[in-house]
Amino acid sequence: MLRRGNAANSNEPETTAVQATDAPKQVGTEGKGRPTPKRRDAEGRKRGPVAPAPMTAKEARARRKQSQGTKAERKAARELRRASASDARARMMAGEEGYLLARDKGPVRGYVRDIIDARRNLVGLFMPLALLLILAMFVSPALQAIVTLAMLVMMLFMIIEGIYLSRMISKRVNERFPNNTESTVKLGWYAFVRASQLRRMRAPKPRVSPGDTI
């Protein structure tokens, strides 16, 4: 009896060890035996039938219109985009910083615009005078030499005024903004381009009047 008890007691550790050894295997192999589901199946997505490619351009346009909604919805979307673009342009022309083009942003560029808008620039007369001279040349071919000479003189004055504007703008900007990092060439060109435009065509619109002190 004692020997049987000892034998039974001696077998218990072996059974426990076997169970402990087999337990991780059961956990590790649980769920195996079936293929891993695809991602779209695991997420519950269903893929419907794919429509055939359009055969003609007319069919492609019809599909595109259908995907964009009804005619009334497309019209409302166009009106919304048009109103949004018009509002953005109005804010840009008014000089709101968030709507300005990259070339016009910053207090330095705003200060340069004010300087130019407060002056009466000779270079601003180049475009209308050049147009008049060209028209006069077509009316009377005999004036071609005179028109050519006049345009050369105008270009000479433009270059002189452009150099003057560049130096004047650079000096005043450095006085107002000692930490300015923009080069004289960039600011001078920016001032020259704005000065060469007609006042009503400048963007953003001038916020000062000619003769104002800046």
Q: What's the pLDDT at 92?
A: 92
Residue entry with tokens 């900007």: 173
Find which of 41-45, 145-149, 188-192 is predicted with most confidence, using mean pLDDT.
Answer: 188-192
Query: With 70 as the cut, is the pLDDT of residue 31 above it?
Result: no
Q: Are 112 and 184 a contacting pair, CB within 8 Å? A: no
Q: What's the pLDDT at 21?
A: 45
Look at residue 211 and tell me if it is in a domain: no
pLDDT tens digit sequence for 148-164: 888 888 889 889 999 99
Look at residue 116 and tell me if it is in a domain: yes
Tell me the mean pLDDT in the region 184-207. Answer: 92
What's the CA gap between 32 and 113, in Å, rounded?
74
Other CB atoms within 10 Å distance of the CB of residue 167: 12
- Tell whether 95 and 161 lie within a shared domain: no
Q: What's the pLDDT at 16?
A: 44
Q: Are 93 and 183 a contacting pair, CB within 8 Å? A: no
Tell me the mean pLDDT in the region 158-179. Answer: 92
- Tell whether 146 and 186 lie within a shared domain: yes
- Tell whether 78 and 117 lie within a shared domain: no
Q: What's the pLDDT at 78?
A: 86
Q: Tell me which residue of 186, 190, 200 sits closest to 127, measured CA to CA.
A: 200
Give, as one character, the DSSP assignment of residue 55: S
* Residue 168, φ and ψ in degrees, nearest 5: -65, -45
Domain residues for 189? 104-201
H or E, element range at 98: none
Other CB atoms within 10 Å distance of the CB of residue 165: 24
Query: With 80 as the cut, is the pLDDT of residue 15 above it?
Result: no
pLDDT tens digit sequence for 109-156: 999 999 999 998 888 888 888 888 788 778 777 777 887 888 888 889
**Position with higher pLDDT, 70 vs 162:** 162
Look at residue 8 and tell me if it is in a domain: no
Structurally, the chain folds into a number of domains equal to: 2
- Tell whether 110 and 159 lie within a shared domain: yes
- Tell whether 83 and 110 lie within a shared domain: no
Look at residue 152 and tell me if it is in a domain: yes
| Tokens describing residue 51 | 């429509």
- Tell whether 126 and 175 lie within a shared domain: yes
Q: What's the pLDDT at 124?
A: 85
